[in-house]
Amino acid sequence: MNNKSGFEMATNIVRFVVFVICTIFYFSQVPGGMSTDVKVDDVKKYFSDESSKNTLVLYIKQASQSGGVKVVNGVQTINKSKLIGFIEKEGSFFVQYAPFYNYKRIFQLGIIVIFYIIVATVLSRTMVYHPGMSIGFASMDFVLSTLFIFFTGGIKGPFILLYVLIIVHVAAQFGTLYSVGTSVLTLIVLIICSNFSQFYAVNSVTLINVVPFGLFLGLTGFLVGSLYKLVAPVTVSIGSTEESTVMPHMVVDDSQRRLEEITKKYQAQTKELQRYAGMEENFRRKQREFRGIHEIIQEIVSEVDIKKLLPLTMTKAAEECEARVGAILLKLSRTGDLRVYERYNLSPISEKIFNCKYGEGIIGSVALKGEPLALSKTDKDPRFSFFANCPERIQNFLCVPMTHKGQSKGVILLCNKLTGSRFSEDDERSLSILAGIAATAIANAELFKEIANKNEELGTANRKLEDSIEDTITTLAEALDAKDSYTREHSKRICKYAVEFARYLNLDERNIEIIRRGSLLHDIGKIGIPDRILFKPEGLTDDEFTIIKSHVIEGAKIISKVEPLRSLCDIVKYHHEKFDGSGYPNGLKGDEIPIGARIVAVVDTYDAMTTDRPYRKGFTPEVALEKMAKFAPNQVGMDMFLKFEKMIREKNFFRI
């Protein structure tokens, strides 16, 4: 056997079986067994020597005269306890008939043995094996065996077999040498105990019968130890032949030690896993709680209308904490008082009771201190009298402050817990989270309302500004119109062409609006050109042309002085730039020219060519496009021209 703990378990079973067998045999030999009465004839047969019989017959006769002997169905019986009391007074009975009058002690020792076997079994199953375990069990066996033997007639009694069990136990666990040593120790103990008159069976132990018994025990130990040496290598040499040939019992010990270490580590890991499992379950429970809180928070923070926010918060708080009654009180910005703004199963009478000044009463103090408060009527707290006149018969309550950035927004009050006699710490934690989120949501709702009011004011201001801008543009256009009627109509046509072309190019509405305004005022700089040059019928000198070209710079200066019109400066300043860089005022080329200025340049050229002038008739759209195609690469860029031409043809050569 390679499992010493398993061997100890097997030993416990054998120990119990041997004890039961010996006990049964013992009580089968003793007159009366375990009964309180014993037959007179059985007692006479049990006591064999004549002296004892005569003494007993005299005692039985005396007992019969005093009513101590009963006759049941014609059979005489005598009380065993009284008989034993008589025998104990007669010292001559002690040694020879100890089994008879010690039956109660044997029973008591039996109870001890059963308890010992149970303890040994538990220790063998739960503890890692150590040689001290086997030594302790063998020592206990030795003590109990010695007591049984000397209580039941010495080595002639049945319990002498318990010594054999000890020898077998030691031989199997420690080897032949230890079993022989135990046999010698047994002989010494028996001889020593035979000198103590307190033991009832001392006269049964003599050298004549002890020495053969000792030799029998020694031979038994030798045979068992030798047999174990033969069997052990076969049991443990599964993977290694060498290990089985050298000290096989040591191989068993090492294998058992490794197995016990593995078992110990496994048990430790199992406990650790169980601990982690408990932690995981607790985490999952908290996760479920906070998932519910998270869902509530998402609903609350997404609501910016305070008229919807407060009922939502009140309902969720009451459901989460299982409250029958509740209220949300907000702090008034004007007076600082706390007023009920949302009720949950709350009567008008209680609403009036709950309304209070900030910092006063049980509710006001929670708002002031910023700390939650939970009380039950059973707490006998004098502050609970605040709710005495409430029709809801308040039994318990939880009040939590709503604070945002250090400023009190009010409190959430829950009353009458549906389950239990008071609100728990989990309720307080959950409601505190909700109150904090609600306070932030209320602050956001107030801010949102304030922003909405500001936006409305801003919208009004923007509309006024737009009107003002349009008035400015109109005023500037009218000033230009007063100087040149052609320019007036030209700017209006340019505006319509430019807006249509900008939409055709899929520009956004903001840029389209800039192009609309810029095209209207693109020639605003001409308002400062002298009439003699502006309306000169013959050709212009170089100096005069330089003055004409200055209108783009002057126009940009005029526009830049009006803040809302500064975005139009690029169109006014660069609409005479050319794609090849030969334009003015900066000689920009290609994509350096802003898109708005390029659009105005294209439509400006097209309108100038298709419009009648005093000195010539305007070209048809077809002719105008053909002529533009020739100089487009240098002036407006071929890509821009082709898109413009495509739009004109798709719209059937429209004229505005």
- CATH number of the domain to which 557 belongs: 1.10.3210.10
N- to C-terminal Cα separation, the chain: 114
| pLDDT at position 155 | 59
Residues 593 and 645 in one domain: yes
| pLDDT at position 578 | 94
The 3-state secondary structure of 410-451, one letter per residue: EEEEEEEECCCCCCCHHHHHHHHHHHHHHHHHHHHHHHHHHH
> In this structure, are strands 75-79 and 396-404 parallel, antiparallel, or unpaired?
unpaired
Residues 496 and 571 in one domain: yes
Contact (CB, 8 A) for 200 and 95: yes
Take residue 597 and report the two structure tokens written for it: 């200025």
Domain end among 403, 435, 451: 451
Residue 318 maps to a domain: yes
Residues 310 and 431 in one domain: yes
Residues 446 and 520 in one domain: no
Closest Cα to residue 326, out of 337, 305, 312? Answer: 312
Structure confidence by residue, pLDDT tens digits, 360-408: 889 999 999 999 999 998 888 999 989 999 999 999 999 999 988 888 8
Q: Cα(190)–Cα(637) distance, rounded to whole angstroms?
A: 130
| pLDDT at position 376 | 92
Closest Cα to residue 615, out of 507, 527, 532, 539? Answer: 539
> In this structure, are strands 75-79 and 69-72 parallel, antiparallel, or unpaired?
antiparallel
Residues 545 and 435 in one domain: no
Q: Cα(353)–Cα(404) distance, rounded to whole angstroms?
A: 26
Contact (CB, 8 A) for 79 and 72: no
Identify any residues that bridge with 403 across adjacent strands, giving them in sequence order.
Answer: 408
| Number of domains into which the chain is organized | 2
Residue 246 maps to a domain: no
E-only strand ranges, 493-616 = none
Contact (CB, 8 A) for 386 and 413: no
Residue 371 maps to a domain: yes
Domain end among 451, 470, 502: 451
Residues 521 and 624 in one domain: yes
Q: Can you list the residues of the chain whose pLDDT is less than 70?
A: 1-5, 7, 25-35, 46-53, 65-68, 80-81, 84-104, 129, 150-159, 161, 194-210, 229-258, 276-304, 462, 477-478, 480-488, 653-656
Q: Is 157 helix (H, G, I), strand (E, B) or coil?
A: coil
Q: Say which DSSP state 538 is in.
A: S
Residues 427 and 502 in one domain: no
| pLDDT at position 294 | 61
| CA dihedral for 417, 421, 427, 428, sign (positive or negative) | positive
Residue 10 maps to a domain: no
Residue 266 maps to a domain: no
| pLDDT at position 195 | 65
Residues 519 and 600 in one domain: yes
Residues 315 and 429 in one domain: yes
Q: Is 37 helix (H, G, I), strand (E, B) or coil?
A: strand
Ramachandran region, residue 157 (left: φ > 0; alpha: ψ -120 to 50; beta: rest): beta
Establish how many alpha carbons lie within 13 A of residue 131's alpha carbon, considering only the half-sphere containing its beta carbon: 12
- Which residues neighbour 94 within 8 Å (Cβ) at sequence distance 6 or greater? 88, 200
Residue 172 maps to a domain: no
Q: Cα(338)–Cα(356) distance, rounded to whole angstroms?
A: 5
Report the side by side order of strands in the sheet with 338-344. 338-344, 323-331, 407-417, 396-404, 373-376
Q: Which domain holds residue 503?
A: 484-651
Residues 513 and 638 in one domain: yes
Establish how many alpha carbons lie within 13 A of residue 197's alpha carbon, considering only the half-sphere containing its beta carbon: 4
Residues 522 and 430 in one domain: no
Domain end among 451, 471, 494: 451
pTM: 0.37
Closest Cα to residue 347, out of 392, 315, 387? Answer: 392
Residue 277 maps to a domain: no
Residues 428 and 315 in one domain: yes
Residue 339 maps to which CATH number?
Answer: 3.30.450.40
Sole residue written with tokens 């939880």: 398
Residue 514 maps to a domain: yes
